[in-house]
Chain A
């Protein structure tokens, strides 16, 4: 029983990370229709930047926001330098561009930082708390709290603020949005910036628990994809639920089947979703605009 509880705790922790990645991914997809394969790199940028700053003696409460800002800058640069110049490009070119950007960022991180695995101390120390029969790291609470905060912020931002509604209008019809006076260019910039910031934040929060290195971005992106697809592409609530589910499935696989193949569970979920229910749990039926 306490074993199961322990798996649940670790599943929800990593699930919250995947949920944050999936939320960032959903934001860009909704605003631009681009499936951003570089989403995982934002997580790495956040984690690696924070690790480097903290390693250099910067206090964590300064390093963390700086790392998020660094991620945000890269997000805007990605949009301006790679996505916007190719805006009229067919789908396949956009896929290749975001993959290329992801590989480029991975290499840039290797050059700027190093090839080592990094971590730093949890924000509230590393002494585990006992809950029932299981233990939980204080950092796990930070991660779970962070993901909930991101979800709440996005819900508020997209529904209640002018800028957020601009993003939604741009998402549903760019030309109509531009015609009623919405600055669609700014909406796109903003959605890339926000999405990257969310990814970087996930990296900053997760690194004390999951560690980070220059090459984990693809794996992170893939977990984020699985979460998004399980929840239903385009649905923020789906991203949250999908992320948690993927985390739980992964933790149960590691606990009860084989820790060697815990990463495989996410891919198996992707394949099963694609085979059985392509629209995901919360997604609307997929319709194609011609």
Chain B
């Protein structure tokens, strides 16, 4: 039987039954789509932050939270949707950041510089991902670990271009001017906060819509079983590499934003520990949903600000969080709490 062909008549009664159920689902669907709903929730949270923040310092940390949320949303697509681990995503992040920092020195305007960084990261992910993703999941982790280190190495050694281990200042646009055009006079920290929050909200909405789309459903089929997905006619390697490219794009956009908002970047943005941090954020919050990305990013961005001892024990905490989360609540905080909630209600 060809794929998509309708079953024979003997199965018809059961089939209508299933359709009736589906129809029921359709009529009960909410008025706004899941993507828009996510966007609105994120927008409210961004606004809420702005309402309670007392100083520029809070805005700067808030900006970091949204930038990390955006990068981790990319990890959610890769890890949560498809079940693949990348240990080199900081590399893509850094490509976005450094392109945004370097190209304006050669006369390219900032937005265009950021765009080229994002495209470069996507292209690299495509070229590297395609052959590797035909193999088992371990290989991507190992290959991205190597790729990330390679990128970090280039950034630290090619001082003529990147400023070397000391990093480089980022000249170029300031988000303040964007808001000035519409007559709003914001401090620069506030302006970047809004830009980062808005971008994270769009990123989350796209990721949520992706999950519900046919290609998102094939990603989840792969997550459950490569072989089963293949027997359903899904081109597994291609779907995986698409997810890998998408997640690299997210990382690169986040990197470009960080470069602009911070005005300064170092090769550590592309370092191994940054890759680990991103994965830990996704794992802790819950890699299956964009809200997991937000919660993970919020906790692990805010914690070092609150706990000064965090810096001394950063490695132990990050590592411990990964191990304990995977053993005790494999799906992460957000799904874990959601489960508790529904169980209490019923």
Write the residues of chain A forming the contact surface with B, with a CB cutoff of 8 angstroms: 35, 37, 81-82, 85-86, 89-93, 95-97, 99-108, 110-111, 218-219, 222, 225-226, 229, 260-261, 263-264, 266-268, 270-271, 274-275, 278, 286, 288, 290
Q: Are A103 and B322 in contact (CB under 8 A)?
A: yes
Q: Are A111 and B316 in contact (CB under 8 A)?
A: yes
A–B complex contacts, Cβ < 8 Å, 12 sampled: A92-B84, A93-B326, A95-B138, A97-B326, A99-B141, A100-B323, A101-B323, A108-B316, A111-B316, A260-B153, A261-B153, A288-B227
Within 8 A of A (CB), among B43-83: 79, 83
Asked whether A275 and B131 contact (CB < 8 A) given A93-B330, A103-B276, A103-B318, the answer is yes
Q: Are B139 and A89 in contact (CB under 8 A)?
A: no
**A264 CB contact (under 8 Å) in B128, B153, B316:** B153
A266 to chain B, nearest CB (A): 7
- CB neighbours of B279 from chain A (8 A): 96, 99
Quick check: is B283 within 8 A (CB to CB) of the other chain? yes
- CB neighbours of B330 from chain A (8 A): 89, 93
**B85 CB contact (under 8 Å) in A95, A111, A225, A229:** A95
Closest to B225 in A: A290
- CB neighbours of A275 from chain B (8 A): 131-132
Q: Are B141 and A95 in contact (CB under 8 A)?
A: yes
Nearest 3 pairs of A and B residues by beta carbon: A100-B322, A107-B315, A104-B319
Q: Are B326 and A100 in contact (CB under 8 A)?
A: yes
Compute how far the CA of A81 lies from the CA of B149 in the bound complex, rounded to whole angstroms. Answer: 29
Question: Chain B binding site: helix, strand, loop or mixed by DSSP?
Answer: helix
15 further A-B pairs in the complex, CB-CB below 8 A; given A96-B283, A99-B141, A267-B147: A86-B326, A91-B138, A99-B279, A101-B323, A103-B273, A103-B319, A107-B313, A107-B318, A107-B319, A267-B150, A270-B143, A271-B128, A274-B132, A274-B135, A274-B139
Q: Are B157 and A260 in contact (CB under 8 A)?
A: yes
- CB neighbours of A274 from chain B (8 A): 131-132, 135, 139, 143
**B276 CB contact (under 8 Å) in A91, A99, A229:** A99
Q: Are B319 and A92 in contact (CB under 8 A)?
A: no
Q: Are A104 and B327 in contact (CB under 8 A)?
A: no
Closest to B131 in A: A275
Write the residues of chain B forming the contact surface with A, with a CB cutoff of 8 angstroms: 79, 83-85, 87, 128, 131-132, 135-139, 141-143, 145-147, 149-150, 153, 157, 226-227, 272-273, 276, 279-280, 283, 312-323, 326-327, 330
Closest to B134 in A: A278
Compute how far the CA of A271 lies from the CA of B317 in the bound complex, rounded to whole angstroms. Answer: 31
Question: Chain A binding site: helix, strand, loop or mixed by DSSP?
Answer: helix
A32 to chain B, nearest CB (A): 13
Total contacts A-B at CB 8 Å: 134
Compute how far the CA of A226 lies from the CA of B149 in the bound complex, rounded to whole angstroms. Answer: 13
Q: Are B322 and A225 in contact (CB under 8 A)?
A: no
- CB neighbours of A81 from chain B (8 A): 323
Compute how far the CA of A113 lies from the CA of B159 in the bound complex, rounded to whole angstroms. Answer: 32
Q: Are A111 and B319 in contact (CB under 8 A)?
A: no
Compute how far the CA of A267 lies from the CA of B309 in the bound complex, rounded to whole angstroms. Answer: 34
Compute how far the CA of A81 lies from the CA of B147 in the bound complex, rounded to whole angstroms. Answer: 30
- CB neighbours of B83 from chain A (8 A): 90-92
Compute how far the CA of A218 lies from the CA of B152 in the bound complex, rounded to whole angstroms. Answer: 14
Q: Are B138 and A107 in contact (CB under 8 A)?
A: no
Compute how far the CA of A97 lies from the CA of B147 in the bound complex, rounded to whole angstroms. Answer: 21
Q: Are B149 and A222 in contact (CB under 8 A)?
A: yes
- CB neighbours of B132 from chain A (8 A): 274-275
B268 to chain A, nearest CB (A): 13
A284 to chain B, nearest CB (A): 14
- CB neighbours of B135 from chain A (8 A): 274, 278, 286
Compute how far the CA of A35 lies from the CA of B136 in the bound complex, rounded to whole angstroms. Answer: 12
Closest to B84 in A: A92
Q: Are A89 and B326 in contact (CB under 8 A)?
A: yes
- CB neighbours of A226 from chain B (8 A): 146
- CB neighbours of A100 from chain B (8 A): 280, 318-323, 326
- CB neighbours of B326 from chain A (8 A): 86, 89, 93, 96-97, 100
**A107 CB contact (under 8 Å) in B128, B272, B316:** B316
Closest to B139 in A: A274
Q: Are B315 and A96 in contact (CB under 8 A)?
A: no
